[in-house]
Amino acid sequence: MPQSQFHSNLDREFGAVREHWSPRVVAEANGQYVKVAKVKGEFVWHTHSDEDELFLVRKGRLTIRYRDRADVVLEEGDFHVVPRGVEHMTAADEECWVVLFEPAATKHTGDTVSAITKPIEDQRAHLR
């Protein structure tokens, strides 16, 4: 994907997402991926040992749960950074659209492997 010429629209990118908890890489910049995901229900508890993770809510409401601190509730337009090494779990009662900014090396479910883990190849498959 030649980044110097890349242009898209967030709503169009979200329209291409067919499955909850299945992020889609929509851009790359400076070793970071920009991803979009539709979420509903609860994700798995996990940690990213070496990467911070930024969540930006485009539509809906997202709760980020922590074991060692208060939950963070994000409304449309809100964003929050989960610090590296901090165990967390995301949840949404209704469908929520989330934009994620994270280093390209970040694994979908961190060190946790589950049935919903999506390898980066699947998240980038539409770019081929």
pLDDT tens-place string over residues 78-93 = 999 999 999 999 999 9
All structural domains of the chain: 3-111 (2.60.120.10)
Mean pLDDT of 11-33: 91
Helices (H), the chain: 10-15, 120-124
pTM of the model: 0.82
CB neighbour list of residue 76: distance below 8 Å, 6 or more residues apart: 57, 58, 59, 60, 61
pLDDT tens-place string over residues 2-21 = 444 578 899 999 999 999 99
Backbone angles phi, psi at 48, to 5 degrees: -110, 100
Given phi > 0 = left and psi -120 to 50 = alpha, else beta, which region is 33?
Answer: beta
- CA dist 17 and 89 (Å) reads 21
Residue 84: per-residue pLDDT: 92
